[in-house]
Homo-oligomer: A and B are copies of this chain.
């Protein structure tokens, strides 16, 4: 249920059995069917979400009325619209499950309360956020440096399983390609 979360926390800080009980007071576990929404455009992103098992996507509706995916989240990953979460402002994003998914969520208020009750958890969240910044710096570098074809090749080489698991048009969206161009690149690659 929240095994993966506690496992991950213990990679960075000590967490006693009693601490674990405290954390459980504040978090929520959820089972999602495919295509269930956690967040809608126009609503405040009031929770942080941790994926225990499954896959989420975060997307917005662009000017041409189509879905533009900016992020996926797999097992062990946190996901949220952090701007909305921190400023309590309406989000421009949707967060939706791509398949059956188990998550842990914690609301903004409970997050504050938890960190007051267990301040050493601040270190875990600081590290997680640092890793997220590192990952986004890395991704920005790739996007500046590579053509879209190169980025596709890099991505499909790095995450072959993911490529099978998620609809191709979603991967195209995430990579900033049209589905048509993606088909062309797939053909080329064989």
Contact = CB atoms under 8 A, between A and B. Distances in A.
Interface of A: 60, 62-63, 68, 70-71, 81-83, 85-86, 92, 115, 119-120, 122-123, 125-126, 129-138, 140-141, 143-145, 176
A63 B141 CA distance: 12
Residue of A60, A129, A136 ringed by the most chain B CB atoms within 10 A: A129
The binding surface of chain A is classed by DSSP as helix
27 contacts: A60-B141, A62-B145, A68-B144, A70-B140, A70-B144, A71-B140, A81-B137, A82-B133, A82-B134, A82-B137, A83-B135, A83-B137, A85-B134, A115-B123, A119-B120, A119-B122, A119-B123, A122-B122, A122-B123, A126-B126, A129-B129, A129-B133, A133-B133, A133-B136, A136-B140, A140-B140, A144-B176
